[in-house]
Structure 1
Amino acid sequence: MSVEPEPQAPGSRWPVPPRGGWTADDLDQLPDLPPHTELIDGSLVFVSPQTLFHTRAVSFFEWQLQSVVPDDLEVVREFTIDIDWQNRPEPDVVVVEGEAIRSMNQTHFPAEAVRLAIEVVSPESKSRDRETKPLKYARVRIPHFWRVENDNDRAVVHVFALDQSTGHYARTGTFHDRLEVAVPFPVDLDLTTITARRRPLGQQ
């Protein structure tokens, strides 16, 4: 652990950050953190209860991309990546180089191994998913970023690619019913299945 945390106030439930904030290494050592805790700018970010849209979208991209990803890449959901000593965000889905998987006990990937990061926007994560995280992903030159949003119970995917000359993401497309892209590998997905009912109401 980087430094000892400040003593907790009486009755305090969450760990009080040390002077200067938490570090990436602390994320693996702090006891009793809620699942999917992220580190953003030295602060712990706790995930709120997820909507059905978020859960379905994450599962959709995890399983659909696994069916088309090249053999040298891996698709992993809800797994943190190392940006720097104060930032270990957890994209909803990442596509990483297969060599980044070294052990079944590892808890994060190096940012340089990530080829695609996907964030499914929740009401409480809009500013992080639209502004904070893309800036950090671009800074470590993750080449592709997809942002998935719920537009009146329809999935919309905003696709971005890193502009190598500026170091920022450039939007390359917005997809509503069908997502068709050639990079980072060919993908053709029916987005309507994310929000489609599995069976008619009243059917057992």
Structure 2
Amino acid sequence: MPTVRLPVPSGDVWARTDYETLPDDLPVRVSLVHGNLVLNARRRPVHQRIARRLATCIEDAAPDAWQVDMDVDVLLDDDELEPSEIAPDIVVYSAEHDLYERPIPADLVALVVEVVSPSTKRKDRRIQPTLYAEAQIRHYWRVETDQTAPAFAIYTYELDDATGEYVATGVHHDRLTTTVPFDLDVELKTVREP
């Protein structure tokens, strides 16, 4: 396996300008969380297939005001000392955002979805939802696969304005029907079947 050499940050922590200088063709996925560079495991094909299929269902239902993409950078916190920029599995964001610009500001994002993998359980269940809530992203969905839970399910959450935290709005095993962030009706068999 080739050695990966990353540039050194300009200070004690990684600034957004340092993060933006990373090459696009790194053999690992990286995120920026509170000024720290976080290396992420490569995704398994089953993870990518579930994410792609769900993203397609969401995109097919999305009104023209929204666009849907996978694995695109979202700027959660532009703090000069401890910025956070993460690429969720699926992002639903305003059509006003220029497709040639990255990252997507969190205030343009309506929904983020994470597909839980064996190596990302803690991050997808605890760490990232907290970061998304702090960035005031209105909706968060967590997809539990047969690899990570006893049964395939999509857990949906909405931001509670009073607490600034997510509250559960449903657990969907066979069908996901919702009106937020827009009308969507998905038979989950089409998402989970190999």
Q: Aligned to 1:29, which of 3, 8, 21?
A: 21
- Give the aligned partner of residue 132 of structure 2: 137
More displaced stretch, 160-169 vs 19-28: 19-28
Deviation per residue, 1:19-70 (Å, 9 max, x gap): 4311223222124634642111222222323223211111012211111001
- Give the aligned partner of residue 192 of structure 1: 189
The answer to whether 1:99 aligns with 2:125 is no
Matched residue of 1:130: which SS? helix
The answer to whether 1:43 aligns with 2:36 is yes
Alignment of 1:1-204 (within 5 A): 13-17=5-9, 19-31=11-23, 33-34=26-27, 36-85=29-78, 86-100=83-97, 102-104=98-100, 106-151=101-146, 154-197=151-194
Could you say which structure has the larger radius of gyration? Answer: 1
TM-score (norm 2): 0.86
* Alignment: residue pair count: 185
Offset of 1:112 from its aligned partner?
Answer: 0.3
AA of the residue aligned to 1:187: L
Query: Within 1, Cα distance between the matches of 2:26 and 2:135?
Result: 26
Q: Check whether the contact 1:155–1:194 (CA below 8 A) recurs between aligned residues.
A: no
Gaps of 5+ in 1: 1-10, 198-204
Query: Within 1, Cα distance between the matches of 2:53 and 2:193?
Result: 12
Q: Check whether the contact 2:28–2:41 (CA below 8 A) recurs between aligned residues.
A: no
Deviation per residue, 1:114-142 (Å, 9 max, x gap): 00011111122112111111111111211
AA of the residue aligned to 2:161: Q
More displaced stretch, 114-123 vs 22-31: 22-31
- Percent sequence identity over matched residues? 35
Query: Within 2, Cα distance between the matches of 1:121 and 1:196?
Result: 16
Query: Within 1, Cα distance between the matches of 2:46 and 2:4?
Result: 33
Offset of 1:72 from its aligned partner?
Answer: 0.6
More displaced stretch, 150-159 vs 164-173: 150-159
Offset of 1:18 from its aligned partner?
Answer: 5.0
Offset of 1:159 from its aligned partner?
Answer: 0.2
AA of the residue aligned to 1:24: R
Superposed CA RMSD in Å reads: 2.1
Matched residue of 2:141: which SS? strand
